[in-house]
């Protein structure tokens, strides 16, 4: 099998503008091609069109998507962890329904991902990039006509791809390589008589943050503004649960040795970690621009919906953390953009709270493919919101994360987040819960859980959280045997 490309390979352009007709439910209208772009650990506020973004960060292509399409300004995940979030995107379900609760377990047998429904409706489907459900399993999954993936987290350089069942190592920077492959599929392998769905899933910007060599050092002299809650002061931790301060000394904390030894930089520091993260984001944006440019040059922009999302948020110093998993805003919020000329008006801002569980329903609606009842999706289609319409929508979101034996610093977290207030329940630790007023305290510095004036509201939100989880089967906590332990080893120790 041939190598798909090295680095930023140039591609010739085909002109394919013929619309596909949608005859679902008797309708006769163009069927949108769909491209879903997914990044890893990209923060919701690290896009340069936002005021909150670092002043030096450059993301011109994501900025363009927002300017010429829609910015979903309040996008959230239902679990801030790679595999559970990706499963929620593909099934439209909460973690307690799809059953993928950590980064090691594979999808349960019989799991159906929404591209299967597109496939059955006549779409040609392709998956390129990071799958990460079943840590060491890169085999092709049902629902995709074309498959190119790698095991687990993969590597930033010279990835080994499983391409439709055959493995090959491809030279180059992984973000470039995956984009090369996706563009090659669009140009050379897709059936031009059918609408297509392409899922391009990047490894970037997952830790360890590795920018492309051409971008390494781009922000070397940039000033890093550390978040207010990063300082190890009594004011930042006086009301917080005890585990929050303790985590800063764990593997996911800024005072852990992993930060001090980061990446063999000449001057190891948090600031260098931050700069490498931004350089990696810039390279991600550059490759998103390559996809948009291809659509423009071929005329496919007019018939294609492009959705961009990060799989979860990421802390960069907030509360002394780096990583995700917890229910603070930096962890549970994600970037989300949608671009579809002729369908989505320029400079559209969607302010409603949408989640990763809504992606499947939304993309199926854009294709005119209603999900079958047996899909049991928890999410809803926000397509009318993208089109500027007004529909009944949720006024809160639910969040769940289950403690992992290999990353024990973060407890099991169950949370309910409304438009102003957030309540967080920590299961299995002798500690405070969390309650925050996001209007007066957007950085969540002050935990109000023990303030008498809020007692009634806290109890109401706690009751609502557990009522909704219980009604939907969300109170069955999963337990997994520690890695490497077998039943016979356990018996021998008795």
Encode burial over 138-169: b for 16+ CB neighbours within 10 A, e otherwise.
Answer: bebbebbbbbbbbbbebebeebebbbeeeeee
Confidence at residue 15, expressed as pLDDT on a 0 to 100 scale:
31
Given a cut of 80, is residue 494 above it in pLDDT? no
**Mean pLDDT taken over the chain:** 90
The pLDDT of residue 19 is above 50: no
User: pTM (2 decimals)?
Assistant: 0.91
Q: Is residue 122 pLDDT above 80, yes or no?
A: yes
* Structure-model confidence comparison of residues 2 and 90, the more confident one: 90
Poorest-pLDDT segment among 76-80, 179-183, 388-392, 418-422: 388-392
pLDDT 10s digits, 367-379:
999 999 889 999 9
Q: Which residues pair with 424 in a beta bridge?
A: 415, 434
- pLDDT value at residue 30: 66
pLDDT surpassing 50 at residue 9: no
* Whether 75 contacts 309, CB under 8 Å: yes
User: How much of the chain, in percent, has pLDDT values that exceed 90?
Assistant: 80
Of the pLDDT bands very low, low, confident and very high (cuts 50, 70, 90), residue 17 is very low
Q: What is the pLDDT of residues 306-328, one digit of tens each?
A: 999 999 999 999 999 999 999 99
Is residue 396 over pLDDT 60?
yes
How does residue 487 score in pLDDT terms, banded at 50, 70 and 90?
very low
pLDDT class of 256 with cuts at 50, 70, 90: confident
Query: b/e per residue, 351-362, with b = 16+ CB within 10 A?
Result: ebbbbbbbbbbb
User: Rounded mean pLDDT of 34-53?
Assistant: 98
The rounded percent of the chain whose pLDDT value lies above 70 is 89
* pLDDT at residue 105 in the model: 81
Give the pLDDT of residue 265: 52
Predicted confidence (pLDDT) per residue in 124-141, tens digit:
999 999 998 877 889 999
In this model, does residue 10 exceed pLDDT 60?
A: no
- Whether the pLDDT of residue 366 is over 90: the answer is yes
Phi–psi pair at 186, nearest 5 degrees: -60, -40
- HSE, CB side, 13 Å, CA atoms: give it for residue 188: 9
Average pLDDT over residues 8-30: 41
Per-residue pLDDT band for 482 (boundaries 50, 70, 90) equals low
- How far is the C-alpha of 463 from the C-alpha of 458, rounded, in Å? 9
Residue of 151 and 481 predicted with greater confidence? 151
* HEC assignment per residue over the chain: CCCCCCCCCCCCCCCCCCCEEECHHHCCEEECEEEEEEECCCCCCCCCCCCCCCCCCCCHHHHHHHHHCEEECCEECCCCCHHHHHHHHHHCCCHHHHCCCCCCCCCCCCCCCCHHHHHHCCCEEEEEEECCCCCCCCCCCCCCCEEEEECCCCCCECCEEEECCEEEECCCEHHHHHHHHHHHHHHHHCCCCCCEEEEEECCCCCCCCCCCCCCCCCCCCCCCCCCHHHCCCHHHHCCCCHHHHHHCCCCCECCCHHHHCHHHCCCCCHHHHHHHHHHHHHHHHHHHHHHHHHHHHHCHHHHEEEEEEECCCCEECHHHEEECCCCCHHHHECCEEEECCCCCCCCEEECCCEEHHHHHHHHHHHHCCCCCHHHCCCCCCCHHHHCCCCCCCCCEEEEEECCECCECCCCEEEEEEECCEEEEEEECCCCCCEEEECCCCCCCCCCCCCCHHHHHHHHHHHHHHHHHHHHCCCCCCCCCCCCCCCHHHHHHCC
Q: With 60 as the cut, is the pLDDT of residue 200 above it?
A: yes
- Can you give the pLDDT at residue 161? 98
CA 80, CA 205: separation in Å to the nearest integer?
15
Q: Is the pLDDT of residue 350 over 90?
A: yes
Comparison of pLDDT for 333 and 268, the residue scoring more: 333
Q: Report d(CA 214, CA 287) in Å as an integer.
A: 13
Strand order in the sheet with 412-418: 396-401, 412-418, 421-427, 434-437
Confidence band, pLDDT 50/70/90 cuts, at residue 3: very low
């Amino acid at each position: 099998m041939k190598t798909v490309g090295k680095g930023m390979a140039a591609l010739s352009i085909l002109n394919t503008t013929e619309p596909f007709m949608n005859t679902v439910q008797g309708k006769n209208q163009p069927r949108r091609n769909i491209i879903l772009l997914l990044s890893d650990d990209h923060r919701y506020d690290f896009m340069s069109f936002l005021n909150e973004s670092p002043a030096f960060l450059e993301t011109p292509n994501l900025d363009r998507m927002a300017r010429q399409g829609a910015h979903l300004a309040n996008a959230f995940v239902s679990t801030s962890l790679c595999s559970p979030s990706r499963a929620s995107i593909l099934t439209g379900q909460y973690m307690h329904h799809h059953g993928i609760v950590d980064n090691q377990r594979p999808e349960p047998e019989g799991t159906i991902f929404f591209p299967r429904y597109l496939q059955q409706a006549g779409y040609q489907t392709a998956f390129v990039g990071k799958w990460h459900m079943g840590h060491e399993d890169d085999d092709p999954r049902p629902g995709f006509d074309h498959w190119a993936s790698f095991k687990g987290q993969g590597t930033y350089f010279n990835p080994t791809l499983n391409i439709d069942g055959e493995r090959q190592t491809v030279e180059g920077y992984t973000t470039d390589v995956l984009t090369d492959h996706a563009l090659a599929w669009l140009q050379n392998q897709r059936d031009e008589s059918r609408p297509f769905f392409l899922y391009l899933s990047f490894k970037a910007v997952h830790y360890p943050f590795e920018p492309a060599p051409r971008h390494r050092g781009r922000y070397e002299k940039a000033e890093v503004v550390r978040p207010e809650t990063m300082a190890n002061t009594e004011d930042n931790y006086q009301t917080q649960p005890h585990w929050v301060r303790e985590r800063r000394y764990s593997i996911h904390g800024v005072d852990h040795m992993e930060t001090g030894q980061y990446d063999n930089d000449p001057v190891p520091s948090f600031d260098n970690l931050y700069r490498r993260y931004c350089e990696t984001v810039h390279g991600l944006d550059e490759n998103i621009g390559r996809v948009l440019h291809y659509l423009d040059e071929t005329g496919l922009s007019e018939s294609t919906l492009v959705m961009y999302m990060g799989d979860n948020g990421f802390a960069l110093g907030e509360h002394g953390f780096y990583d995700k998993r917890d229910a603070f805003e930096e962890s549970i919020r994600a970037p989300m953009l949608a671009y579809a000329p002729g369908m989505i008006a320029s400079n559209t801002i969607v302010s409603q709270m949408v989640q990763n569980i809504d992606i499947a329903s939304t993309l199926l609606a854009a294709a005119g493919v209603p999900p079958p009842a047996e899909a049991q999706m928890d999410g809803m289609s926000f397509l009318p919101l993208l089109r500027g319409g007004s529909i009944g929508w949720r006024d809160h979101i639910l969040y769940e994360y289950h403690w992992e034996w290999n990353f024990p610093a973060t407890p099991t977290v169950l949370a309910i987040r409304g438009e102003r207030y957030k309540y967080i329940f920590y299961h299995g630790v002798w500690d405070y819960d969390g309650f925050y007023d996001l209007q007066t305290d957007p950085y969540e510095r002050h935990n109000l859980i023990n303030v008498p004036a809020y007692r009634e509201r806290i109890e109401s939100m706690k009751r609502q959280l557990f009522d909704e989880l219980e009604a939907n089967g969300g109170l069955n906590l999963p337990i997994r045997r520690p890695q490497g332990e077998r039943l016979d080893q356990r018996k021998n120790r008795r």
